[in-house]
Amino acid sequence: MEDGMINGGEAVVATLLSRGIDTVFFVPGGTYVTVLEALSRVQNKIRSVSTRLESSAAFACDAYAGIARKPSCMFVSRAPGASNAVIGVHTAMQASRPFVLFIADIPKAQKGREAFQELEYKLMFEPVAKAVLEVNSFDEVAQVTARAIDLSVSGRPGPVVCVISKDILDGRTGALPIPKAANPVRMGPEKGSVESAAELIRAAKHPIILAGEMIRIEDESEALQRFADASGAGVLVSYRQQDIIDNEHPAYFGQLTLNRLPFQIEALDACDLIINIGCRLDSATTDDYKMFRADQKMIMAYPDAAVFSQWQADIAIGSHAGPTMRALSKSLEKTPPSAERIAWRDEVHAQEVAYSQPGEIEIQGDVDMARIITTFMKLVPGNAIHSSDAGTFGRWLHRYYRFRQPYCNVGPVSGAMGYGVPGAIGAQLAAPDRMVFSWVGDGGFLMTGQEAAAIVQEKLPVKIIVCDNAAWGSILVHQQKRFGDWDFGTRLKSPDFAKLAEGYGMAAFKVTRTEQFADALKGAMAHDGPALIHLMLDLRDVSPYSGDAR
């Protein structure tokens, strides 16, 4: 780069720097070597991490956003790389997490002729991404790159795809101005809506706050707790958002996960007002959209008008979560909640606390996951981060782990398996001074566990816990609920994960009995580098929920 003369790849990287992007993920591709060369010259400003598969890079971006609450970027090459990234883009969109996927496309002159590795990216990504942008000339590189990053965090955050042809990245060089960073748009509630909502809350007998994903991305956990105190309402958190409120707070009613708990069903039956703050009301959270009753009123605050079209809220507030909760808290603090409301709230919370205590489930095997998790909570730092994959093993975490601090939990809101290990990479880079654990099943590890190589190469001190029950557990539960004691295609023959970890260069520990776990965990935590614990589980102990059908 001399006298302001830059190529397309340099323009992209200069624009990333202008937006404060400090982390990128990629699988190297020949179509964007100018980007890689430019990144190599700014390693003191942007950490660039090469994963082994593009879906892993996208999962890492999602987890990074979940912990850092800001976007990262990733680079892939043409059709194969772009296709592999789709699952991570879909996962980030469902979680409302921002990142930008750059696709280095074939030369523009070759388009429309079914050229080598040609795809129509708008058709592929528009259904699963927030937006798909395309750079049509060298002069547009910086502008479109800046717009992609800015768009990823505006309103409802989400993944944005930016397509740039190889000839634009490699070809012309010129003096290209970098657009100045846009001021973040912060939407607040209209005064009349706040007053109307406050009146509904005061009039309600058993109100429940439904706390959603926007509270996380806006870093508004403190505002949520203040709102819960001011309103006296209970708090149910949306799917995989357990850490946006202290789980010991007297308002906490638990997570709305794939398993509705008895006390949650009773609380929702008694509830006459849902106060939805920052939740897009996905199917997992709303029990396949069956959660609401016709006689139940709803206040809804969300920064994306399109989400309101799917619901009939009694009061619709087009606003970010933080300003809405602060305005409502200020109004409600003038009239404290009734003693009856507080008593009801405390009673439900007591049931939630009791349900999280081990002892109810009779264990068949030698490893008791409930005791594993209580031991884990005693030994790990309170701010430790958990990247939890999809799978039935996660039900044990959902039931027994108590999050006391915010932004300690990431996972695939889409339910995509293979998230756990690459998600831990993103989380560790977002919080390098905190301990990061990857919770993953044997099936999920066999999808993206090869990212252990990237963890070792990058010298990341991630601790992986493989929960091995030798089956696709959630599918097996489906089969047995439908057909009885029967299975087909759901048993797994896996490698010795401890030996595999040693092959990657990790410290490794194997646990075959509950009492071995504490020493294994202490050893993994004491190890100055990545480590893996192989938990040998009994398939009969597939879930801590009776009649688990998911």
Q: Write the CATH number for 350.
A: 3.40.50.1220
pLDDT band at 472 (very low <50, low <70, confident <90, very high): low
Report whether pLDDT(3) > 60: no
Q: What is the pLDDT of residue 44?
A: 97
Q: Are residues 519 and 386 in the same domain?
A: yes
Helices (DSSP H) in 114-250: which residue ranges? 121-125, 141-153, 166-170, 191-203, 213-217, 221-231
350/400 same-domain check: no
User: pLDDT averaged over the chain?
Assistant: 93
Per-residue pLDDT band at 258 (split at 50, 70, 90)? confident
Give pLDDT tens digits for 127-136.
Answer: 999 999 999 9
Residues 145 and 214 in one domain: no
The last residue of one of the domains, among 329, 355, 381, is 355
Together in a domain, 345 and 197: yes
Residue 180 within a domain = no
**pLDDT tens by residue, 164-220:** 999 999 987 888 899 988 787 889 999 999 999 999 999 999 999 999 999 999 999
- Going by their DSSP bridges, the two strands 23-26 and 47-50 should be labelled as parallel
- Whether residue 548 has pLDDT greater than 60: no
Give domain status of residue 184, yes or no: no
Q: Residue 142 belongs to what domain range?
A: 5-175
In a domain, residue 361? The reply is no
Domain shared by 144 and 10, yes or no: yes
Quote the pLDDT of residue 252: 98
Nearest Cα residue to 164 out of 134, 139, 120, 125: 134
307 and 215 part of one domain: yes
**Radius of gyration from C-alpha coordinates of the chain:** 24
Q: What is the CATH number of the domain that holds 387?
A: 3.40.50.970
Task: Name the DSSP letter for residue 320.
Answer: -
- The confidence score (pLDDT) of residue 546 equals 56
Asked whether residue 362 is assigned to any structural domain, the reply reads no
Answer yes or no: is pLDDT of 491 > 80: no
81: in domain: yes
User: Six-digit token pair at 251?
Assistant: 């308002």
pLDDT digits (tens, 9 = 90+) for 61-118: 999 999 999 999 999 999 999 999 999 999 999 999 999 999 999 888 788 888 888 7
Residue 360: inside a domain = no
Please give the helix or strand (H or E) that residue 533 lies within, else none.
Answer: strand 531-536
**pLDDT of 320-346, one tens digit each?**
999 999 999 999 998 999 999 999 999
DSSP string, 347-378: HHHHHHHHHTSTTSSPP-SS--HHHHHHHHHH
- Could you report the per-residue pLDDT of 224-252, keeping only the tens digit for each? 999 999 999 999 999 999 999 999 999 99
